[in-house]
């Protein structure tokens, strides 16, 4: 497990001052919902007008009815004022509803885009990224952005509109008094911008720490057996506790600055409220017969002007958190897949595909020392070729090139004379079936895990494939047969049963080329015999590449290719390689001696 989950998070970006670019890009997801956006924008000025009219109605009530002492028509003024209150309530409800519905749809599309992008990335990408961090992108980060849309972004524009309207109303009522409120604005704006910069840094660190904790939790769940067998609980608890405490401290700092910003705005607004009441010039004017209703309306406007300012500061906090989340999401979306379909297939595969495989000067590395160095290999259609060699020789890497889990760094791999990079990925991966060391089973039924949701693979095809590999013997004993739900990762099945399902899955897709990466290394001897029998049926009429730790499982291969140091050092049948008395003969002798004399230790193949 990673001792410092934050230090490995190197994918962070720093957009700095170009936040407008992030927002413009994000609003691209709202284009399909232009009507919803138009309705939301139309509600903003209506809501602002309803609020702006209320102080003016109070002014009319004070000047025309309360001060003169006449109540003629006062009922109509009161009714109009109550109507404005109800209209404000209705418009507020509609704004909240429309914003929430719009935000949910936009975030749904963003989340779907992100998931589809991850699905299209190559296997090497997932080898470098912790699953917890990717999960955090798809769940927590998108949820933060959702809060911005549904509760903040459009209302932010409404608050700005209301702020401008109130400012104009105050200037209309009393330009001298309005000057005091306007002088307070730069103080509030400067304080808000200062806090926003600090908030951005704190939220970025908080998101990193949250992603790190998600990664630690994923490792804890996936590696629970190792954790318990080696009594690593205390160490893992300490790692998680340290990240959790760091997150707490970062959140406390963010809460402190949020409270400071809110209190700062409140204090400035309260001081400003006192000015119209204590201003002697205004009192003299009022004593000489100036409108008391104007004073009351002005104070009401002054009280109202700080509501949007306070809301703006709160929404700005949400916006800062969302900026950090969008940075992380777009950084991931900007990571292009390195394995892509050709722009246009210039060379067509023969029909039907014969299954001839050719490696020409194949080299591969993971950015460091080369794993494969100049592999030249020809495999005939229908030939069964086994790959043997010591650990680290490049066996698994070689076969990963066949279905383009990776592309060669140099050289090329051909299928029936066509470079694999010239074949559409969907077509290639339909032609190449892979049985891995451990079959991964998804949440769902047995049928779902064999057919993988392909409509062309019917229940009859699923049963036929399962019967062909001998899996029906245990499937029919399950409570609901092929429709029996499996536990997560198929933990309610044995390792051998999971491998049989993997073989049935490959057979159901009927590939022309079969790749078996140590398919029996994780099962017991009895299960291995069942799997070997299933493999023999599966290998018929197909080109096959087989990697096996147990050399006894590849004795009847048409040819055995021996790798060492990323190179092909010898090849031939089992008998020919034993007669050659090279590396294969030594490995076989060592493994055979280990089988007959356990004290000699395991052979490393």
Distance CA 247, CA 119 (A): 30
The residue among 53, 58, 51, 54 whose CA lies nearest residue 293 is: 58
Burial 250-282 (b: 16+ CB within 10 A, else e): bbebbeebbeebeebbeebbeebeebbeebeeb
Distance CA 565, CA 390 (A): 9
Count CA atoms closer than 13 A to 15's CA, side-chain side.
18
Residues of the chain with CATH 3.40.50.300: 357-600
What pLDDT does 15 receive?
Answer: 43
The residue among 314, 315, 297, 309 whose CA lies nearest residue 160 is: 309
SS3 state of residue 120: coil
CB 399 within 8 A of CB 387: yes
Taking the CA atoms of residue 323, residue 325, residue 327 and residue 330 in that order, the dihedral angle to the nearest 10 degrees is -130
Give tens-digit pLDDT for 75-107: 888 888 889 889 989 988 888 888 888 888 888
Q: In the chain, which stretches have pLDDT less than 50?
A: 1-18, 280, 282-289, 595-605
Residue 316 in tokens: 């700005």
What pLDDT does 522 receive?
Answer: 55
Query: What is the edge-to-edge ordering of all strands in the sheet holding 370-379?
Result: 370-379, 357-365, 410-415, 418-419
The residue among 544, 507, 512, 510 whose CA lies nearest residue 350 is: 512
What pLDDT does 287 receive?
Answer: 41
Taking the CA atoms of residue 29, residue 34, residue 40 and residue 44 in that order, the dihedral angle to the nearest 10 degrees is 100
Distance CA 513, CA 603 (A): 29
What pLDDT does 275 receive?
Answer: 57
Q: Is the pTM of this model over 0.85?
A: no
The residue among 51, 49, 52 whose CA lies nearest residue 173 is: 52
Give tens-digit pLDDT for 21-43: 888 888 888 888 888 888 888 88
The residue among 498, 433, 503 whose CA lies nearest residue 466 is: 503
Domain range 357-600, its CATH number among 3.30.950.10, 3.40.50.300, 1.20.120.1810, 1.10.287.130: 3.40.50.300
Distance CA 328, CA 308 (A): 30
Residues of the chain with CATH 1.20.1560.10: 22-120+154-333
Residue 20 in tokens: 């407008």
CB 514 within 8 A of CB 506: yes
CATH number, span 22-120+154-333: 1.20.1560.10
Residue 39: Cβ-neighbour burial (10 angstroms; 0-12, 13-18, 19+): middle
β-bridge mates for residue 559, sequence order? 385
The residue among 54, 82, 86 whose CA lies nearest residue 304 is: 54
The residue among 118, 60, 109 whose CA lies nearest residue 84 is: 60
Residue 527 in tokens: 């299960």
What pLDDT does 447 receive?
Answer: 92
């Amino acid at each position: 497990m990673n001792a410092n989950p934050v230090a490995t998070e190197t994918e962070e970006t720093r957009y700095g001052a170009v936040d407008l670019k992030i927002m413009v890009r994000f609003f691209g997801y709202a284009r399909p919902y232009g009507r919803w956006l138009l309705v939301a924008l139309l509600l903003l000025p209506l809501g602002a007008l309803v609020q702006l009219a209320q102080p003016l109605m109070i002014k009319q009530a004070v000047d025309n009815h309360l001060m003169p002492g006449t109540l003629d028509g006062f009922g109509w003024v009161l009714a109009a004022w109550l109507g404005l209150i109800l209209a404000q309530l209705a418009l507020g409800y509609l704004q909240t509803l429309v914003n929430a519905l719009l935000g949910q749809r936009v975030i749904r599309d963003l989340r779907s885009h992100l998931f589809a992008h991850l699905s299209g990335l190559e296997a090497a990408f997932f080898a470098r990224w912790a699953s917890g961090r990717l999960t955090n992108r798809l769940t927590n980060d998108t949820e933060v952005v959702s809060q911005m849309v549904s509760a903040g972004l459009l209302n932010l524009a409404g608050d700005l509109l209301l702020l401008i309207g109130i400012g104009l109303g105050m200037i209309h009522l009393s330009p001298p008094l309005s000057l005091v409120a306007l002088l307070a604005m730069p103080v509030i704006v400067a304080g808000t911008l200062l806090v926003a910069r600090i908030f951005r840094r704190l939220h970025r660190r908080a998101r990193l720490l949250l992603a790190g904790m998600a990664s630690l939790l994923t490792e804890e769940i996936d590696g629970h057996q190792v954790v318990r067998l080696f009594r690593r609980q205390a160490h893992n608890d300490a790692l998680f506790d340290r990240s959790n405490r760091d997150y707490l401290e970062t959140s406390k700092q963010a809460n402190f600055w949020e409270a400071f910003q809110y209190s700062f705005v409140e204090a400035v607004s309260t001081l400003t409220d006192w000015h119209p009441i204590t201003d002697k010039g205004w009192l003299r004017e009022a004593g000489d017969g100036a409108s008391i209703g104007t004073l009351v309306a002005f104070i009401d406007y002054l009280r109202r002007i700080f509501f949007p300012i306070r809301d703006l500061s709160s929404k700005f906090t949400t916006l800062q958190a969302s900026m950090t989340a969008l940075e992380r999401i777009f950084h991931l979306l900007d990571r292009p897949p390195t394995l892509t379909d050709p722009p246009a297939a210039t060379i067509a595969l023969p029909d039907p595909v014969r299954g001839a495989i050719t490696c020409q000067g194949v080299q591969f590395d993971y950015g460091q020392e080369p794993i494969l160095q100049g592999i030249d290999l020809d495999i005939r259609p229908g030939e069964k070729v086994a790959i043997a060699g010591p650990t680290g020789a490049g066996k698994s890497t070689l076969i990963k090139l066949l279905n383009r889990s990776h592309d060669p760094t140099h050289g090329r791999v051909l299928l029936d004379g066509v470079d694999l990079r010239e074949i559409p990925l969907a077509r290639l991966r339909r032609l190449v079936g892979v049985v891995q060391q451990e079959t991964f089973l998804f949440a769902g039924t047995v049928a779902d895990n064999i057919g993988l949701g392909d409509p062309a693979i019917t229940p009859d095809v699923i049963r036929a494939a399962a019967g062909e590999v001998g899996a029906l013997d245990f499937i029919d004993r399950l409570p609901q047969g092929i429709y029996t739900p499996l536990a997560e990762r198929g933990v309610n099945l044995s390792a051998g049963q999971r491998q049989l399902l993997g073989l049935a899955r490959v057979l159901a897709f009927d590939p022309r080329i079969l790749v078996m990466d140590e398919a029996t290394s994780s099962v017991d001897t009895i299960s291995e015999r069942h799997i070997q029998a299933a493999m023999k049926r599966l290998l018929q009429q197909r080109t096959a590449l087989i990697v096996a730790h147990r050399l006894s499982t590849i004795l009847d291969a048409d040819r055995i290719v021996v790798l060492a140091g990323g190179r092909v050092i010898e090849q031939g049948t089992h008998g020919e390689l034993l007669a050659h008395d090279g590396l294969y003969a030594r490995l076989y002798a060592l493994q055979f001696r280990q089988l007959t004399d356990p004290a000699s230790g395991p052979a490393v193949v």
